[in-house]
Amino acid sequence: MGADDGIRGHVGELPVPVFDPIAATVAPPLDRCRVAIVTTAGLRPGGQAELARLGDASFVVLPGDDRDLQLAHFSPNFDRSGFTADVNVVYPVDRLHELAASGVIGSVASQHLAFMGAQFDLSTLMIDTGPAAARVLLADGVDVVVLTPV
């Protein structure tokens, strides 16, 4: 099998989305920022661990104090061993609390967001769930997010 066979060959043919320029703001100094996590690990609270569907562009709000999380990522190629050993590998919430306690960041958000990775059509994220996710974070006073792409 050559390098362009299989997944690599297919992915190379996917169209690349083009985004219009957007306005940006400058965050306050990090030691005054409220920080949230946005992960593509497909995490769900323990009682909601249904598998995500291919192309599912929805997100789940994770309560900041919940550590009973399960992976709902459906990909058989997704290595779960790091998450099994330590949730902070894909969801570094304990590290954020340590940074807040030491004064490196201002505070940790009370809720975080989990998407399912492996998105092929970004239109729903751009038009619907992305802005909805931003509203959740803004309502919690979040200044900065840590993205954990999985």
Kindly give the confidence (pLDDT) of every residue in the chain, 150 residues in length, as a single tens digit, with 9 standing for 90 and above: 455 566 667 777 777 777 778 777 888 999 999 999 999 888 888 766 565 666 677 888 999 888 888 777 666 666 777 777 788 888 999 999 999 999 999 999 999 999 887 777 777 777 888 899 999 999 999 999 999 987
The model's pTM: 0.78
Dihedral sign computed on CA atoms, order 94, 97, 42, 8: negative
Residue 10 lies in a domain: no
Structure-token pair, residue 75 = 């990909």
Residue 117 lies in a domain: yes
DSSP states along 67-84: --EEE----TT---HHHH
Residue 13 lies in a domain: no
Structural domain harbouring 133: 29-148
> Structural domain tally of the chain?
1
Q: Which residue has the tokens 């949230």?
A: 36
Residue 5 lies in a domain: no
Residue 120 lies in a domain: yes
d(CA 136, CA 95): 22
